């Protein structure tokens, strides 16, 4: 598109933007671009050269003016398009619940959505205040709604926001999957093509949910794992990572009967700037440093962290060999512990678990969950990455993905839930304590029972997404014969689907020694991710294999880049 057409496009967007901040931002860029400023012209190309794509993860991107940013125009188009989709598929008046977290513009985007849903003739219910994503997922089922929208960018950088969509009814409050995403996207595109969100009908006749919705979530989550007798001396630390988890988690913990944690006060309350962390993701280096310091000061037995919208859980334990004396468990370690807990519960109470009870995880998560399922006579399902797939596994009593997401209570929340996972983890820690052992001791016991599994990950963050495309193309055109000294026994390209899985941009390599390497682009961040799994006779041998493979993967990607 030439400069004149791009300026025309930007001015048309400016005319419909109801947000003074993004109008001023865009007006300045337009003025500079009209004067021939090449940097401003390039900025307009970046803002309007494409559009944030609506997919199975909804929308997510940086805040700012333009079709390739998160802003009130884009959100209005998404809300009106989603309303059109719901009206088309419903026989009566659809009900949609809207939630939001503590990020910049989250409440504004939620209010816009509620007004547009109500204006379109839907019954719109806004949650009463900023709350965790799992509460929204719960509310969709609890209120028998047809759909839900959560305004959040989860653990993304501070300047991002997003728009996550859930469906009720037969979907049980799960995230959308294909082809629904494409159908909603088509409705959104029709709204965008019309060109003026100012003519969309709005109404303030939306409802605000009562506290009873949050009370019901707290009660159901606390009932998942009531505290056993004698845990009042248990010392643990909690951080909300500047997110919305503390208020809800503290109520659940108190209701379930666990001792209150020592809290990282600097990160307890919502803060859209995430001022104490470079990146508000518990997986990122340094993100849990304040929690570790609090743990050392409190002589804590373990540390628990939620991400900013509290749908993920991180756990750390004392480890003298680790830097700072604390080691964050991998998502797979936590997932296997929680899966082990679920498998034992299903064996004790098979009637409650139901016929065909199963464990489920994403294909990039540890194969150890399959070993647990086999050991306890449960079904096992390996799905594509994302809880939109995991939550739909038949008979699932527990599901997880290695990126710190755990679904421990499918009858309550059909999505990852960092608060219910925290309660389940507290019950494991209390059970271990009652037997005079620790979370580390539980990991040793599990390894002795099913074998020792270790996992690692190599992530390549890029500024230019074409780098990821080139790397994937190179690996497809010339599959590696080995990773370091470990030969590849089988190379699979899942672009055409495999083992009943839908097609996915994933490459999977099974090595001759039984180790596994999986490569895929991230669905939410500009990263290429490589997942490494190994099994050993001891925990040390498994971890050593992972370290070797991580080095080999980095070397290979550097050569191909």
Comparing CA positions, the residue from 417, 526, 360 lying closest to residue 166 is 417
Residues 271 and 240 sit within 8 Å (Cβ to Cβ): no
Per-residue tokens: 40: 């401003």
Using the predicted structure, report yes or no on whether residue 499 has a pLDDT greater than 80: no
**How far apart are the C-alpha atoms of 315 and 308, rounded to whole Å?**
15
Tell me which H or E stretch contains 62.
Answer: strand 59-62
Helices 331-348 and 418-434, packing angle to 10 deg: 70
pLDDT in tens, 112-132: 999 999 999 999 999 999 999
pLDDT of residue 436: 95
Confidence bin at 297 (pLDDT 50/70/90): very high
pLDDT of residue 187: 97
Strand boundaries in 57-107, DSSP class E: 59-62, 95-100
Confidence bin at 355 (pLDDT 50/70/90): low
CATH 3.40.120.10 fits 211-226+234-450, yes or no: yes
pLDDT in tens, 161-178: 999 999 999 999 999 998
Task: Indicate the domain borders of the chain.
Answer: 1-49, 55-209, 211-226+234-450, 452-560
H runs (alpha helix) in 354-465: 368-375, 387-390, 418-434, 439-450
pLDDT of residue 353: 62
Using the predicted structure, report yes or no on whether residue 351 has a pLDDT greater than 80: no
Based on DSSP, count helices (H) and strands (E) in the chain, helices before strands: 18, 22
The DSSP secondary structure of 279-317, one letter per residue, reads: SS-TTSTTTTHHHHHHHHHHT-SEEEEE-TTS--EEEEE
Per CATH, 55-209 and 452-560 having the same topology is answered no
Comparing CA positions, the residue from 416, 373, 420 lying closest to residue 395 is 373
Burial category of 315 from C-beta neighbours within 10 Å (exposed 0-12, middle 13-18, buried 19 and up)? buried
How much of the chain is in helix, strand and coil states, percent to nearest 5? Answer: 45, 20, 35
Residues 397 and 342 sit within 8 Å (Cβ to Cβ): yes
Comparing CA positions, the residue from 516, 518, 519 lying closest to residue 527 is 519
pLDDT of residue 380: 96
Tell me which H or E stretch contains 381.
Answer: strand 379-383
More confident residue, 253 or 384: 253
Angle at 115 between CA 109 and CA 121, to 5 degrees: 135
Q: What CATH number labels 55-209?
A: 3.40.120.10
Residues 54 and 188 sit within 8 Å (Cβ to Cβ): yes
Residue 175 DSSP symbol? E
pLDDT of residue 256: 97
Determine phi and psi for 504, rounding to 5 degrees.
-150, 145
Strand order through the sheet with 516-521: 452-461, 527-536, 516-521, 507-511, 486-493, 482-483
**How far apart are the C-alpha atoms of 143 and 165, rounded to whole Å?**
16
C-alpha to C-alpha distances, 256 to 306, 311, 436, 439, 494, nearest whole angstrom: 18, 19, 22, 20, 43
pLDDT of residue 523: 73
Note the CATH architecture for domain 452-560.
Answer: 2-Layer Sandwich (3.30)
pLDDT in tens, 383-413: 988 899 999 999 999 999 999 999 999 999 9
Residue from 67, 106, 154, 365 carrying the catalytic annotation = 154
pLDDT in tens, 210-241: 999 999 999 999 999 999 987 888 999 999 99
Residues 369 and 381 sit within 8 Å (Cβ to Cβ): no
Active site residue 154: yes
Give the number of other Cβ atoms within 10 Å of residue 332's Cβ: 26
């Amino acid at each position: 598109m030439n400069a004149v057409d791009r300026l025309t496009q930007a001015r048309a967007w400016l005319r419909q933007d109801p947000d003074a901040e993004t109008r001023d931002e865009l007006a300045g860029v337009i003025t500079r671009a009209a004067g021939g400023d090449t940097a401003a012209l390039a900025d307009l190309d970046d803002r309007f050269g494409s559009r944030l794509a609506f997919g199975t993860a909804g929308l997510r991107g940086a805040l700012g003016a333009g079709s390739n940013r998160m802003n009130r125009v884009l959100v209005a188009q998404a809300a009106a398009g989603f309303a059109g989709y719901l009206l088309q598929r419903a026989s009566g008046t659809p009900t949609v619940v809207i939630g939001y977290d503590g990020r910049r513009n989250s409440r504004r985007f939620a209010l816009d959505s509620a007004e547009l849903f109500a204006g379109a003739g839907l019954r719109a219910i806004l949650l009463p205040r900023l709350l965790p994503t799992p509460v929204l997922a719960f509310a969709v089922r609890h209120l028998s709604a047809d759909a839900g929208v959560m305004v959040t960018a989860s653990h993304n950088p501070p300047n991002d926001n997003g728009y996550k969509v859930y469906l009720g009814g037969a979907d049980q409050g799960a995230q959308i999957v294909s082809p629904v995403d494409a159908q909603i996207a088509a409705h959104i595109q029709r709204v965008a093509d019309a060109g003026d969100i100012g003519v969309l009908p709005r109404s303030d006749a939306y409802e605000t949910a009562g506290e009873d919705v949050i009370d019901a979530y707290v009660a159901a989550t606390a009932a998942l794992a009531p505290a056993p007798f004698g845990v009042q001396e248990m010392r643990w630390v909690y951080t909300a990572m500047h997110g919305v988890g503390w208020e809800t988690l503290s109520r659940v913990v108190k209701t379930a009967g666990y001792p209150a944690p020592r809290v990282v006060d600097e990160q307890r309350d919502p803060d859209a700037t995430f001022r104490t962390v470079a990146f508000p993701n518990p997986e990122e280096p340094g993100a849990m440093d304040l929690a570790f310091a609090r743990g050392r000061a409190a002589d804590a037995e373990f540390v628990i962290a939620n991400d900013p919208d509290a749908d993920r859980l991180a756990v750390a334990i004392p480890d003298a060999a680790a830097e700072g004396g604390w080691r964050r468990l991998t998502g797979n370690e936590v997932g296997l512990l929680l899966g082990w807990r679920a498998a034992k519960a299903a064996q004790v109470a098979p009637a409650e678990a139901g016929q065909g009870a199963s464990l489920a995880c994403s294909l990039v998560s540890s194969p150890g969950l399959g070993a647990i399922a086999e050991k306890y006579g449960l079904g096992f399902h390996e799905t594509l990455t994302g809880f939109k797939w995991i939550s739909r596994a038949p008979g699932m009593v527990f599901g997880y993905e290695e990126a710190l997401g755990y679904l421990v209570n499918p009858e309550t929340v059909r999505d990852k839930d960092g608060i219910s996972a925290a309660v389940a983890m507290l019950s494991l820690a209390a059970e271990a304590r009652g037997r005079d052992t620790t979370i580390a001791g539980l990991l040793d016991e599990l390894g002795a029972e099913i074998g020792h599994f270790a996992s690692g990950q190599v992530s390549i963050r890029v500024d230019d997404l074409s780098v990821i495309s080139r790397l994937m193309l190179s690996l497809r055109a010339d599959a590696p014969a080995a990773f370091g000294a470990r030969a590849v026994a089988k190379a699979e390209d899942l672009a055409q689907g495999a083992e009943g899985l839908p097609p996915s941009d994933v490459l999977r390599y099974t090595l001759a020694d039984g180790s596994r390497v999986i490569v895929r682009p991230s669905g939410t961040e500009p990263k290429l991710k490589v997942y490494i799994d190994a099994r050993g006779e001891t925990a040390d041998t498994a971890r050593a294999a992972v370290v070797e493979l991580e080095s080999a993967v980095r070397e290979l990607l550097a050569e191909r880049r």
